[in-house]
Structure 1
Amino acid sequence: MARRRTLGYIENEWTCPNCNSRNKGSVRTCENCGAPQPENVKFELPSEQKFVEDDAGLREAKAGADIHCGFCGTRNPATATTCSQCGADLKEGKAREAGQVLTAPPPPPKVIKCSNCGAENPGSQSTCSQCGAALPKAQAPVPAAAPPPPAGAARPAAKKTNWLLVGGILAAFAICCVAGLFLFLFPSQSLEATVTDVHWQTVVPVQEIRPVNYTDERGSPPSDAYNVSCHDESREVCEQKTIDRGNGYSEVVEECHTETETYCSYTVDEWTTIQTYTLEGNDLQPLYDTPSLTSDQRIGDTSAEFTVVFSTEDGIKTYTPGSVTEFQQFRVGSSWTLRLNPLGGILSVEP
């Protein structure tokens, strides 16, 4: 079950659609132009978020969502019964939306200029430190336009994208990719070769059922396990959210829940390789050992490796056939043509 606790309350802000001034969340009419906050203008988190400390602010933050008058639209506190603007009964009003999770705004600009007195203020402020006027909402900085050239001066040509250079870079990249494919996948030279030696090795594993111990495996043990011992490991996962209360404030909450995983140690009887029998030779007739088995034993998955040694004018080359049928073609003394990549690796062998 999730656990939730309140860490504190933050005063939001809203932007007046009439004059673009920022206002504190508790202010219900714009401090710059006097226009009331419309119902559709949402609250936002300020750039600097601090917990409310004073008792009056905390009482207001903990109250319910504000109510917009059904007659004049004025925003009123949740505790009001009549509209502060027109005196109408707020039973006909509409509560502001609440419960939305708010996200932090982008970093503010370093300086905001007051439109009233021209004073420069830190970007995080909402009111002018010089005259007290509400500061406008920060806009993304626009690059300054280049000054016009002096009269009579030659106008520089507009900078154009060097498509020839871009095309050259893309072409070079494509050539490198194709060259890499040719380097490893396509033969670049042929070499006459003679088989001087062959070698094979076969492996036969003998298995029997043995107890195998597993320790601290995640999840439930198999149904045929025994000596089972399980334990739970729990950890608390927490997430902070900032939730709009619809009254100019947000509640910062921490929601935590416990995640539990089961780990088990157990024993399972499994087919286990207890011995391997290896044979090898230098002819074209690979053999597999035939060990004697008891009633509780079996042969596991057998394997084989084949190697052919060629003598060429460039020295010794080795090749690994993919099957016994291919391997048995390479009689000692027979001649073959090797197809090589530029690095000298054998890509194919032809009679």
Structure 2
Amino acid sequence: MARRRTVGYIQNEWVCPNCNTRNKGGVKTCENCGAPQPENVQFELPSEQKFVTDENAVKAAQAGADIHCGFCGTRNPATATTCSQCGADLKEGKARAAGQVMQQPAAQPKIMKCDNCGTENPSSNAVCSNCGSPLPKLAPAQPAFNAPQARSGLSPAAPLTGKRSSRAPWVVAAAVLGCLAIICIGAIVLFAFPTSSVQATVTDVYWQTSVPVQEVQAVNYSNERGDPPSDAYNVSCHDESRDVCEQKTIDKGNGYSEVVEDCHTETETYCSYTVDEWTTIQTYTLDGHDLQPVYESPSVSSDQRIGNESETLTVYFTTEDGSQETYTADSISEFQQFTIGSTWTLNMNLAGGILSVEP
């Protein structure tokens, strides 16, 4: 079952369309020019996000979405019944949109220079400390929604919508993908494509064959995820649960955002059990330096069996410049073509490995 708890409230801000002044979310008219906030001007998260601690501010955040008067457009608190500007009944008004997840603000410089007088101001200032001119806010490069945060890492003074980066997420992602692409292309060029061919003579061959003998034995498994096999015995299972939490910052439609933590419990079953399985108890090997690999033929009892045979087929070459190269044949029929003294063309990759051979 999903669970939600409120972590706290932060005050948003909005930008006056008349004078470009940044205003605190709880302020309903522009602090610079006095113009009311229009219905279509959205709230934004401030660059510095802190929980509000004032009791009245918390109550305002919890009150619900503000209502714009249906006659004059003035923004009124959710608890109001008549417009504070024209006195009209707010039953005809329209509540502001609420409930959407707020997007991460763009990273702001620590110091912002006033375009009007050149005074340097902290980026948290909405207006210039010298001349009172509005200080603009950088627009987000693209929406970046809240990322899951560990419960233990929560701090009221920390950014509440994920880690703030000086680069847009898509720039970082593009850089990572670009690096991975270069690495992949380099690996393909290094290992997959032939870059040179050399003539070489077969100087030796070597084969080794393996024949496993198996019998049914009890095999124990511990803390395996999921249900045990149907033929398992000595079964012991237990459930392990963990809370998975995600933090979001949600617009309340009244100049504040609610920081919530949504959690749900994920449960997985782990089992220990015993299963009877065919198990290799001994492997018989033979080897030689000729072109006729042979396999051991061990005798087995009624409760045993022969497992899958395997072989390793190695060819040794000496190139024209005297270097030694090793090649592993894929099949016995291929291996038997490499007679001692025969000459072959070795197609080499950039790393010096043999990709293929030609007579």
TM range (shorter): 0.7 to 0.9
Equivalence for 1:111: 112
Deviation at 1:321, TM superposition (A): 3.4
CA distance in structure 2 between the partners assigned to 1:237 and 1:64 by the alignment:
28
CA distance in structure 1 between the partners assigned to 2:202 and 2:48 by the alignment:
81
Equivalence for 2:212: 205
Q: CA offsets per residue over residues 150-173 of structure 1, 9 Å max, x none?
A: xxxxxxxxxxxxxxxxxxxxxxx9
**In 2 relative to 1, CA 88–347 (structure 1 residues): closer, same or farther, beyond 3 Å?**
closer
Q: Which has the larger radius of gyration?
A: 1
CA distance in structure 2 between the partners assigned to 1:316 and 1:11 by the alignment:
73
Equivalence for 1:14: 14
**Are residue 285 (structure 1) and residue 286 (structure 2) matched?**
no
Equivalence for 1:85: 85
Equivalence for 1:145: none
Equivalence for 1:294: 301
Deviation at 1:311, TM superposition (A): 7.2
Q: Superposition RMSD on alpha carbons, in Å?
A: 3.2
Query: The residue matched to 1:276 in structure 2 has which SS?
Result: strand
- Asked if structure 2 preserves the Cα contact closer than 8 Å seen for 1:112 and 1:138, the reply is no
**In 2 relative to 1, CA 247–227 (structure 1 residues): closer, same or farther, beyond 3 Å?**
same
Equivalence for 1:223: 230
Alignment of 1:104-143 (within 5 A): 104-109=104-109, 110-113=111-114, 120-129=120-129, 133=132, 135-139=134-138
Query: The residue matched to 2:245 in structure 1 has which SS?
Result: strand
- Asked if structure 1 preserves the Cα contact closer than 8 Å seen for 2:217 and 2:279, the reply is yes
Alignment of 1:8-47 (within 5 A): 8-47=8-47
Alignment of 1:1-351 (within 5 A): 1-109=1-109, 110-113=111-114, 120-129=120-129, 133=132, 135-139=134-138, 185=194, 188-191=197-200, 193=201, 198-308=205-315, 314=322, 319-330=327-338, 335-340=341-346, 347-348=356-357, 350=359
Q: Which has the larger displacement, 96-105 or 232-241?
A: 232-241
- Asked if structure 1 preserves the Cα contact closer than 8 Å seen for 2:128 and 2:135, the reply is no
Query: The residue matched to 1:188 in structure 2 has which SS?
Result: strand
Where in structure 1 are there 5+ consecutive unaligned residues?
Answer: 141-172
Equivalence for 1:147: none
- Asked if structure 1 preserves the Cα contact closer than 8 Å seen for 2:114 and 2:133, the reply is no
CA distance in structure 2 between the partners assigned to 1:315 and 1:82 by the alignment:
95
Q: Which has the larger displacement, 278-287 or 233-242?
A: 278-287
- Asked if structure 2 preserves the Cα contact closer than 8 Å seen for 1:16 and 1:30, the reply is yes
Percent of residue pairs identical: 67
Amino acid aligned to 2:39: E
Deviation at 1:245, TM superposition (A): 0.7
Deviation at 1:308, TM superposition (A): 4.6
CA distance in structure 2 between the partners assigned to 1:307 and 1:119 by the alignment:
77
Where in structure 2 are there 5+ consecutive unaligned residues?
Answer: 140-181
Deviation at 1:295, TM superposition (A): 2.2
Deviation at 1:340, TM superposition (A): 3.6
The number of aligned residues is: 308
- Asked if structure 1 preserves the Cα contact closer than 8 Å seen for 2:198 and 2:319, the reply is no
CA distance in structure 2 between the partners assigned to 1:287 and 1:189 by the alignment:
32
CA distance in structure 1 between the partners assigned to 2:285 and 2:198 by the alignment:
37
**In 2 relative to 1, CA 269–114 (structure 1 residues): closer, same or farther, beyond 3 Å?**
same
